Structure 1
Amino acid sequence: MTTLDDVLAIQKTSNILYPPTIVTPSTESKVETDTSSGTLSIGLYNSTTSNTVYAYITGLAINNNSALFLLESDGQTAYYPTNPSANGSALSANCAIALGAPGTTVNVTIPFIAGGRIWFCVGSTLTFLLNPSTSGPGLVEPSVSNTSDPNYNLSWDFCEFTYNSSQLYTNISYVDFVCLPISLTLTSTTGSTQHVSGMASDGLNTVCSNLIAQNASDGAGWDQLVITSNGSNLRALSPSNGIVFNPNLFSTYWTSYIDAVWAQYVSAPITVDTQTSWGTFTAYTSNDRTSLAFTNLGSFTKPSASDIFGANSGAFAPQATNTAQLLNIGARLDAAFNRSTLLIDADQPDNEVVSTYYQNSITNHYARIVHAANLDGRGYCFPYDDVGPDGGADQSGFVSDGTPANLLVTVGGGNAFARREVQQPTGKAMKRSLSWEDDVKALVTVEEDTDRDLEKGLHPKLLNENASSSEAKRFKLPAIVERFVGPQLAKLQASPFYMQRVARLIALISQLLLSILSLSIRTIVSRVFIVVFFLLFYFLGLLPHGTNGETQRRVLESMAAASGNGTTLV
């Protein structure tokens, strides 16, 4: 018997998405109890240099008993596969959504979905297969750790999402590997936007070259994470998937760091804030020096490299007692191990600072390198990369909104950019009828809410995006003009060209005008006085006033005396 949480965990470890046998509310997705049928418009933008790019959308349909869902090639029709008779059965519908030429956008529509993924493949279609199960067909997804997978030598990637009546949550994931650059722009019904930049078009090459350079520095085996095909970089594996190919990879990498951590907390405690009603817990190294013991709760043994990189085995696997609390604490300890901050911060994660992440020579250099390759430094690089102090800067590369209007997912990195997030005043608005073209406001951005539920180290729950009060104050065209010009203007504002070029030019002109208008009356009067003074001085110097310029000298002397501050006029 499996719940929704169980099958999503299986998806992450086995690359097979099964429907749950028990349909109940989940920590990751709220299951609908009514017959509402919310839908969401998603724009898929081809920012590669290829004319052959395909997208796929998969997940579990919340309003259809969490049945396996795929979107057909038209981007509108839901496909619910039937239970096959044998493993590895083919799909009976075409689910490859062609994106068209570079610079084009294909709009698709999805229902409420849990465990959702948006897949992209450049140069070819992907192969998805079906396995039978007692709860319905299971989707065999592409794998980067199985060399016999038909998709292994293809260039593909995905982002993850959950969409239900409470929220849309989506993030770019590097937990398994790095391949294609993907960026996200989420627009709410209030008109505010959130943006995750992703990598530039050469991001994969940057990651691969830096992994090779890191291995040249420490010889730990980081170069084994680079996978090539026909002499070109195909993908960069995460350390967990690197260990799948070579079980001895990083086997002793963490030993000295773990020993130092255990030694540090023999006499001084480490405190972990669960960021929930459970509060904080304190631990010391056990008397036998084998574990980190939390009083009256449980303990953590020394983790292996697989435990640290994968966060779901050994020291960080579920325990028999106090399971939820220990999973919560384990998530925070694991994040601190990957970021190598346990020796500099005994108060986790409250005192964590992004600038101190990955500074130890022994750290998750894959995560360090991948974060650095993203234009805004954000992206899910290990299973608990969403852990952070309350109010801290997001590292996981997510966007989320309780009233989403539309989502733009861009693949290729050809027009990737880092948007400066600005905190806007809060407000409220409710509307759900706008299309992507009508509602993208490229210049109105908000800083993502970081009020997250990390009780089990899972994805964030509802994050409500509030309207900007400046929306109501901005200039509006007259109604009759808006009626004819509005639709064309909205389409222009929705285009990547507008977001990348025109919007910046308008912002520059607006700033210049504001700078001019911001001059005070006193400043203007002083500037006018200076001009008049020099004109007067100039004409006095030209007019004849007696012999030897006597009248000129008297005028100038009287003006200097009148200033009263000893000013000398030259």
Structure 2
Amino acid sequence: MKRFSQMIRNARTEKHGQESKQQPLTTTTPQAPTRPDHVAVQEPVSQASASVPATPGGPTLNIALQNQTASATVYAYITGRALDNNNDLFLLLADGHTPYFPQSPSAIGAEIPENTAITLGAPGNTVTVTIPHLAGGRIYFSIDAPLTFFLNPGPALVEPSVTNPSDPNINIDWGFAEFTFNHDQLYANISYVDFVGPPVALDLTTFGGQSQHISGMPVDGLDRVCEGLRAQHAQDGKGWDRLIVTQNGRNIRALSPNQGMVLHPDLFANYFEDYIDQSWKKFSTQSHTIDTQASFGKVACKTSGSKITFGGSQFVKPSTRDIFSCSHGPFQTGANVETNTIIPRLAAAFNRSTLLVSNSFPADRSLYYQHQVTNHYSRIVHEANLDGKGYAFPYDDVQPSGGPDQSGEVHAGDPKLFTVTVGGRNAWC
């Protein structure tokens, strides 16, 4: 059985959504790359108990949305692709139970004619909603103001943007969690790949009586991240503080380096280049292996001029932008399956800066972020989560076989209740 962390992220590349960018509205979202089955294989979840209450529209899942902010004005939105309805674009209406399949508009930037804002009520309140099978699902939260979505021909959803100054949501405090719920199981994770916003926690209970919990950040989690970014800039002067977005003197979000470089093209110029050169030199003088954690097994490294070869796959030197994006340059996936299993592990090694301290990859967690040149955003984000878990860069689920999960995911073949909490006031580990 395929690992469902692959399936949820592959679903992102189906582009059910388009992000509001500079101009025009037809610009598509810079999605995470299409990925192979790059995660270390775990024991498959038994499908024998994967029954959920059935409705005329197919199997469904109850999701409890809990408000643990200090605001009585919190909204939730659920979007995805309806697997049992031709993979059509899906939004849940404001009543929390009625599916909405929008028609393709005749022009870009069309308003959504239905109310899809689910109100969560007073702090501490929980609203339970019901969804069908969805791929590439997102649960959005916004605090003190509703979000604005648009439709493009397709239909395609124009999602809120954190890099377009003219986006109507740019000054709203919002965030999201990601999930896929299909015929085999639910897979969900906390996502910080694009930015850090309001704290989100996940809980999953199953019909088999099991429970899973991802803590997320405490109520001041964003402030902790921003403090860490300012401290890192004070230490190395590399501009980490420019990832912080404020409004009226308060922190509203912290952008990932990949998104920060969209707003500030000069940010992190040549940041990784010296580290890259040191790594290439080490590749040429020492033996290295990458465990593909797949049928290709462990592949050895060879050097040829300015290129390195793992197994049958050649890689040129990446740039800083390539490393932060995990999808450009040598990290762009393609038709070669072996290459597609190597890319995530190599990209993760660069972001975690383990190439100079280990000769086998994925490396042990104790070696992550120890070099002065590293993805400090990811380091700081993990430190701010109470359990250290969260998806902070596109391949943050890469781990040694048998190693602990870093990505903040829950999954089960027999999900009974999926609880998503926003605000962090009751965060625990």
TM-score (norm 2): 0.88
Counterpart of 2:284 in 1: which secondary structure? coil
Structure 2 partner of 1:404: 415
Which residue, out of 175, 182, 185, partners 2:193?
A: 175
Q: CA deviation at 1:231?
A: 1.1
Structure 1 partner of 2:151: 130
Distance in 1 separating the partners of 2:259 and 2:383: 20
Structure 2 partner of 1:8: 12
Query: CA separation of 1:336/1:4 partners in 2, compared to 1, >3 Å: closer, same or farther?
Result: closer
Aligned: 1:197 with 2:215: yes
Distance in 1 separating the partners of 2:310 and 2:296: 13
Amino acid at match of 2:189: N
Query: CA separation of 1:103/1:152 partners in 2, compared to 1, >3 Å: closer, same or farther?
Result: same
Distance in 1 separating the partners of 2:126 and 2:391: 25
Distance in 2 separating the partners of 1:379 and 1:294: 29
CA contact (8 A) 2:18 2:157 kept: no
Q: Give 1:70-149 correspondences, 5 Å limit.
A: 70-133=91-154, 137-149=155-167
Structure 1 partner of 2:391: 380
Amino acid at match of 1:281: V
Q: Deviations over 1:396-431 (max 9, x none)?
A: 00000011001110000000001xxxxxxxxxxxxx
Structure 2 partner of 1:414: 425
Query: CA separation of 1:120/1:58 partners in 2, compared to 1, >3 Å: closer, same or farther?
Result: same
Q: CA deviation at 1:337?
A: 0.7
Structure 2 partner of 1:68: 89
Q: CA deviation at 1:240?
A: 0.2
Q: CA deviation at 1:241?
A: 0.4
Counterpart of 2:427 in 1: which secondary structure? coil
Amino acid at match of 1:403: D
Which residue, out of 41, 47, 63, partners 2:62?
A: 41
Q: CA deviation at 1:8?
A: 2.2
Distance in 2 separating the partners of 1:385 and 1:415: 26
Could you list the runs of 4 or more consecutive aligned residues of structure 1 that deviate by over 6 angstroms after TM superposition? 3-7
Structure 2 partner of 1:272: 290
Aligned: 1:50 with 2:61: no
Structure 2 partner of 1:292: 308
Counterpart of 2:347 in 1: which secondary structure? helix
Amino acid at match of 1:118: I
Distance in 2 separating the partners of 1:310 and 1:4: 18
Distance in 2 separating the partners of 1:112 and 1:12: 15
Structure 2 partner of 1:223: 241
Query: CA separation of 1:113/1:391 partners in 2, compared to 1, >3 Å: closer, same or farther?
Result: same
Q: Deviations over 1:542-569 (max 9, x none)?
A: xxxxxxxxxxxxxxxxxxxxxxxxxxxx
Query: CA separation of 1:75/1:14 partners in 2, compared to 1, >3 Å: closer, same or farther?
Result: closer
Amino acid at match of 1:387: V
Counterpart of 2:90 in 1: which secondary structure? strand
Distance in 1 separating the partners of 2:57 and 2:16: 29
Structure 2 partner of 1:329: 342
Higher RCO (CA 8 Å, separation ≥ 6 residues): 2
Amino acid at match of 1:272: I
Aligned: 1:345 with 2:355: no
Counterpart of 1:392 in 2: which secondary structure? coil
Structure 1 partner of 2:324: 309
Structure number having the greater helix percentage: 1
CA contact (8 A) 1:251 1:304 kept: no
Distance in 1 separating the partners of 2:236 and 2:279: 21
CA contact (8 A) 1:5 1:27 kept: no
Gaps of 5+ in 1: 19-25, 29-34, 419-570
Q: CA deviation at 1:27?
A: 7.3
Structure 1 partner of 2:172: 154
Amino acid at match of 2:337: A
CA contact (8 A) 1:186 1:195 kept: yes
Distance in 2 separating the partners of 1:355 and 1:67: 43
Q: CA deviation at 1:323?
A: 2.0
Structure number having the greater strand percentage: 2
Distance in 2 separating the partners of 1:246 and 1:9: 25
CA contact (8 A) 1:267 1:284 kept: no
Query: CA separation of 1:4/1:106 partners in 2, compared to 1, >3 Å: closer, same or farther?
Result: closer
Q: CA deviation at 1:15?
A: 2.6
Gaps of 5+ in 2: 1-6, 21-26, 29-35, 39-55
Q: Deviations over 1:52-89 (max 9, x none)?
A: 00000000000000000000000000011011011000
Query: CA separation of 1:284/1:222 partners in 2, compared to 1, >3 Å: closer, same or farther?
Result: same
Distance in 2 separating the partners of 1:215 and 1:204: 17
Distance in 2 separating the partners of 1:48 and 1:4: 28
Aligned: 1:318 with 2:333: yes
Q: CA deviation at 1:269?
A: 2.0
Query: CA separation of 1:193/1:6 partners in 2, compared to 1, >3 Å: closer, same or farther?
Result: closer
Q: Deviations over 1:287-323 (max 9, x none)?
A: x2x121235x12111111111111000121135xx62
Counterpart of 2:13 in 1: which secondary structure? helix
CA contact (8 A) 2:8 2:187 kept: no
CA contact (8 A) 2:8 2:179 kept: no
Distance in 1 separating the partners of 2:14 and 2:78: 19
Distance in 2 separating the partners of 1:5 and 1:357: 23
Query: CA separation of 1:4/1:272 partners in 2, compared to 1, >3 Å: closer, same or farther?
Result: closer
Q: CA deviation at 1:267?
A: 2.6
Is the deviation greater in 260-269 or in 220-229? Answer: 260-269
Q: Deviations over 1:197-219 (max 9, x none)?
A: 00000000110011011001001
Query: CA separation of 1:5/1:178 partners in 2, compared to 1, >3 Å: closer, same or farther?
Result: closer
Greater Rg, structure 1 or structure 2? 1
Distance in 2 separating the partners of 1:400 and 1:354: 22
Distance in 1 separating the partners of 2:18 and 2:375: 23
CA contact (8 A) 1:159 1:173 kept: yes
